[in-house]
Structure 1
Amino acid sequence: MDLPLNLKIFDIAINIHLVLEYLAFFIAFRYYVFLRKSHTDIITSNNRLSIILGAALGALIGSRLVGFLENPTISLSVNNLFTLLNTKTIMGGLFGGLLGVELAKKIIGEKHSSGDLFVFPIILGIFIGRIGCFLSGINEFTYGKVTTSAFGMDLGDGLMRHPTSLHELVFLIFLFVALKAVNHNFRLKNGDLFKLFMLSYFGFRFCIEFIKPNVFYTFGLSSIQILCVICWLYYSKFIVSLLIGKHLR
């Protein structure tokens, strides 16, 4: 199979990444609805809706903001501004969504943790979206650096590159299975599952950024890696509690 994958239906070019992105949102939401029906939700329907709206707004802002910060030196022009407004990243979406949820909960006075039900739908959604990234080859800035390792692949520019999207797909499968096992075998406090997901996924993304051709670094780190550090600091109390054995009993 040649990459990028170019599909046409009745001579109409199909953006496979965009199709899979929308499919990811749809399937992930349906999975969330299924999980909510099969689990007792201590948060009322009205408050849950407010939380979802907060997450959506926060994710929209965060994904665009971090997408912009990945290209801070780009010259400002009408064409580039349009490109930047359409640039988004799941990392900014996740952290922005987290902040949006916390703000929404403060506004409505909701005290219970709300993230656990979203964990597995989010993983499934990212997985489907990453398939689109892989099939898009070098058309999406998710490819890796040129490599001479046996894992290198031609993603569309004739060079052997790290297939970082494939690496992430493998990690997401492992993460899904691991968190299912943790959730089944340990007594977690409400909200802990989401925190474990965020720390694990942001930790993975911090590491894999080193084999991506980032062009802008601050203190030797990319904007995504700086966001990962911010996420770890945000959950620093939880990390300490894990280290001293207050969780996962």
Structure 2
Amino acid sequence: MDFPVSFQIFNKTILAHPIFETMGIFLAMRYYFFLKRKSTEKMSFNTSAAVLIGATAGALIGSKLIGNLENPIVLFENFSIKRFWTNNTIVGGLAFGLIGVEIAKKIVGHKESTGDLIVFPLILAIIIGRIGCFLTGVYEETYGLPTTSVFGMYLGDEYLRHPVALYEIAFLLFMWFELKMIAKRDKYVSGFLFQLFMLSYFSFRFLLDFIKPKIEIIGNLGTIQLVCLSMIIYYIYKIKSSTVLIKHQKI
């Protein structure tokens, strides 16, 4: 396979990544609305709209802010609107999307969790997006460090590299299966499934970034890892609270 993979659309060459990213968002939204129609948990229009706006705005800001802070020297010393707009990361999108949702819920006075329904559409979107990342190879900053392991692949340069996008797809497929098994038990408080996904994903990304190129910010940790670490601490606290609530319900 030659990297980067591209497609001819209306006589224009377009890289696979934006195509798969757009496809992932579209299919995930359709899947979300399908699940929402089947769900017994109903939210008012105002609450649904506020949550959607909060999540979208937070994810958009966070994905680009954290994506650019991966290399703060370039961001502050050689600022470019085009570079700022095209740099993004799902880690920032998830973290700031959460903040956006929580602010929106405060504004409309909604106290219940709204996350469980978005878990599987979110996993679907990331999987499809990561296919595009893999097909782009080393031509976007979503590749791994050189390796001599059996998993090494040529991604567009002369080095065998960790195919980190494929690692993430494998992890997300495993998470899909595990969370489906947990969902069938129906013995958790609202929001627990989302909390478990977020803790698992941020933990995985924290470890994965040790085999990806990065600018070290504190010690040997990059910006994405620092964000992951803060979210891991937050969700350990949240899951402990949910576990205590489950125990009280059983009593």
How many residues were matched structurally?
A: 248
The DSSP-based 3-state class of the residue aligned with 2:213 is: coil
Question: Are 1:3 and 1:156, in contact at CA under 8 Å, matched by a contact in 2?
Answer: yes
Cα offset for 1:52? 0.6
Q: Percent identity?
A: 46
Letter in 2 for 1:134: F
RMSD of aligned residue pairs (Cα, Å): 2.0
The DSSP-based 3-state class of the residue aligned with 1:235 is: helix
Cα offset for 1:237? 2.2
Report the structure, 1 or 2, having the larger helix content. Answer: 2
Cα offset for 1:6? 2.7
Q: CA offsets, 1:147-167, max 9 Å, x none? A: 011100000012100000000
CA distance in structure 2 between the partners assigned to 1:97 and 1:203 by the alignment:
18
Runs (4 or more) in structure 1 with deviation over 3 Å come to 75-78, 239-247
Cα offset for 1:49? 1.4
Equivalent in the alignment of 1:28: 28
Q: CA offsets, 1:43-87, max 9 Å, x none? A: 223211110111000101111110111011116346x44212321
The DSSP-based 3-state class of the residue aligned with 2:66 is: helix
Once the two structures are superposed, the pairs formed by residues 1-249 of structure 1 within 5 Å of their partners are: 1-9=1-9, 11-74=11-74, 76-77=77-78, 80-241=80-241, 246=246
Select between 173-182 and 214-223 the one with higher mean Cα deviation.
Answer: 214-223
Select between 213-222 and 146-155 the one with higher mean Cα deviation.
Answer: 213-222
Letter in 2 for 1:126: I
The DSSP-based 3-state class of the residue aligned with 2:131 is: helix
Pair 1:49–1:206, CA change in 2 (3 A): same
Gaps of 5+ in 1: none
Cα offset for 1:185? 2.0
Cα offset for 1:206? 0.6
TM-score normalised by the chain length of structure 1 = 0.93
Question: Are 1:144 and 1:163, in contact at CA under 8 Å, matched by a contact in 2?
Answer: yes
Letter in 1 for 2:3: L
Letter in 2 for 1:167: Y
CA distance in structure 2 between the partners assigned to 1:77 and 1:237 by the alignment:
39
The DSSP-based 3-state class of the residue aligned with 2:72 is: coil
Question: Are 2:5 and 2:15, in contact at CA under 8 Å, matched by a contact in 1?
Answer: no
Select between 205-214 and 229-238 the one with higher mean Cα deviation.
Answer: 229-238
Cα offset for 1:186? 4.5
Cα offset for 1:5? 1.0
Question: Are 1:43 and 1:112, in contact at CA under 8 Å, matched by a contact in 2?
Answer: no
TM-score normalised by the chain length of structure 2 = 0.92
CA distance in structure 1 between the partners assigned to 2:121 and 2:220 by the alignment:
33
CA distance in structure 2 between the partners assigned to 1:12 and 1:163 by the alignment:
28
Question: Are 1:32 and 1:117, in contact at CA under 8 Å, matched by a contact in 2?
Answer: yes
The DSSP-based 3-state class of the residue aligned with 1:136 is: helix
Cα offset for 1:40? 1.0
Pair 1:10–1:102, CA change in 2 (3 A): closer
